[in-house]
Structure 1
Amino acid sequence: MKIFNLTRHIITLLAFVIFGLNANAQTKGDIEAVRISPANENTRVVLDVSKETSFSYFRLRSPERLVVDLKNTNRDFSFDNIDNQSSLIKRIRHSTPKSKSDLRMVIELTKAVEPGVFSLNPTSDFGHRVVIDLKDPNPRPVATNTAAPKRDKDIVIVIDAGHGGADPGSIGPKGTYEKNITLSISKMLEKRINEEPGLRAVMTRSGDYYISPNDRPDVATKENADLLVSIHADAFSTPQPRGGSVWVLSKGRADTELGRLLERTERDSQLLGSAADVIGDRDTERYFAETIFNMSMDLSRASSYDISNKVIKEMKKVTKMHKRSPQSASFAVLTAPETPSILVEVGFISNPQEEKNLNWRAYRQQLADSLFRSIKLYFRNTPPDGTLWAQERDNEPRKHKVKSGESLSLLAQRYNVELDRLKEANKLDGDLVRIGQVLIIPAY
């Protein structure tokens, strides 16, 4: 009898344990907060959820809607008071799900979009998140003036601090956020640039807020910038990798962006400026646009590569370089069509020693200084026409170092100056010059 009673108690206890496990497994998740972050023609919607959840989504037309189903999620969250400044979203509301245990969210849209939905696992104080990216496939074409834009006397450098806001970027083993490191170095670089006469810095973000990677190059286009520098910190699944690297836009991504520019030209001839008025037919217009854009993007990529080499040369005085030559990749932030653009990885935040270094203010300043030196060196050698630095270069007397086979009369002809003016500028009595002699070339 005692054995029978003991067995009954054990069975009862197991039943309670199994019931408890099942009940725990069926516990529903909650939506704790919803944030809408518009950025020009793109919008990110972030759902903070209390537990990891699976989801599915689909689109509906006439009117345009995006329907997101969250599995095993309570439906008591109200979407009525969400701050919505997005031009793509009318409102967010509930709808009836297929299963009573699920939540169905409907995003009513103002136009057709390209949606992407993904989840993020907890990182430090960030919990589970479901992220919805809405991208306008047909943004309004940027109106351009048919007259040539007035050149800024300053050389304009756009500094892009990677990540920000709800996007912390990579997180180091001690909890360091990439977004904070990149913003600190960016502000240091901004200060150095703005202290240099003839240079001007523009930040894509000056605080801790989110900007879509697709919108960051728009800042460079709007400012008619001469360079975009995007600052990041690398990470890997193991702690061993370390060192910096510099990246430029891959040829494949450049060709993709060229295609998008041409599609925009098909819709709006303003991108060709006054040239569109003298082109007789659409086929010729497209051929002309393709030629111009190709040349512009090739020149931009070549300049990006040259600047990258100078950055690497300066950075390796401060830190080990993970890559000793410029690398290419399909980064959205590098896609400004006429602006040389580089992405600088200042080190691996996943490496404990480099995380420690990046948390040291003096080390971040050294990195910012190395970036400044490379930028200054590049633009001192090749200042854009119409800038203060170009004027200073043009006002300096031209010089020529005599090589074997060169004569004074040959140099006068080459530089289109009178022989007597060339002699006078160099205080020469005769026509003889020696190899290695440095001659001043007069302006006229």
Structure 2
Amino acid sequence: MSTSRIVVTGIGASTPLGGTASETWDALLAGQSGTRALEEEWVEKYDLPVTFAAQGLVRPDTVLARPEAKRLDPSAQFALVAAREAWADAGSPEVDPERLGVDFATGIGGIWTLLDGWDTLREKGPRRVMPMSVPMLMPNAPAAAISMHLEARAYARTVASACASSTESIVNAVEHIRLGLADVVIAGGTESVIHPITIAAFASMQALSRRNDDPATASRPYSVDRDGFVMGEGAAALVLETEEHARARGARIYAAIVGGAVTADSYHITAPEPEGLGASRAVRDALAQADVSVADVTHINAHATSTPTGDIAEYKALLSVFGDRVHEIPVSATKASTGHLLGGTGALEAVFTVQALHNRLAPPTINISTQDPEIPLRVSGDPIQLGAGDQVAISNSFGFGGHNAVAAFTTV
């Protein structure tokens, strides 16, 4: 297995804050919220208890050519937009197609295609169901679309581990490069499931915030009055390659990804293990793989969904790893601004972590009215300078089913 350092040479994103990675980053630093009231007629039709979400600011079907957009579920549309941006940002590297891989995740997949197809079957009969329905709804459709667009033939793999999905795909991409399966990998994740059934289902399990009167402030990690997460949608992508490969072609390098780990709670299908045991093990394993100590970590992008139990469990996990030093480390809970992109959230937060290191600036956490005294982390409503010298940051993702994934990055 290669021991070469893996670096990030390209980033892309389409999110509730912007249609590109740079637009999203600028809006994040400005403390903007991507959460807005839903204007679709189905909100009133189904009398949904939650009437807002963090929808993608730029609809992907307005970016893609109409013929290709029609053959892709929104989740794959977002993925392709983000991947194209990341690839161009990396300088569209010349690489043997058989040495180019795709690790791209989703949590749920093409639910819009599936349920629209079901409606068509019931209302118009089987002859009117689109022949492309299965290729559009399958969870691996985003990875396949990216692979075909970039002619990536080393492999095209899909992880589906709920809200840990795309961080796990990034961790897998690093392993695949080190194993020699590819020279360059485009990794990330996507989700587009702001649909009546998912809103109703998440609301039924008391997971969503119900601040219908003030959507922009609904996601409030660590605040004493947090009441659930906000559904978001979009995609993010990173181009990964060995440092030698990147420098040989004169690529700009944003940061290095030096470690990653995946663990399982084996505790409950939706609730986190209360003491954060699986999460803390993932953090420790990622740092061990990176060969850095807890004293080296200078920034944390937390999973921080704004649920009463989830935020506490993550704090306990971090406290068990870092001890009291965790209270000194700048923490960013960026879902307050973007909402929760489910299977795409880890990739987006990895992009934020890379940008934080590259710009030496930890993004703000908005909407904290009064910080929960049981979670005394160092969070700020304004960006925090990370300073000079070597910086190490981790990005945490945890998902239903007890999935935990953590990626560790450093400045270069």
| TM category, shorter | under 0.3
| Structure possessing the higher relative contact order (Cα contacts under 8 Å, 6 or more residues apart) | 2
Compute the TM-score of the two structures, normalised by the length of structure 2: 0.27
Structure whose residues are more often strand by fraction: 1
Bigger Rg over Cα: 1
Compute the TM-score of the two structures, normalised by the length of structure 1: 0.25
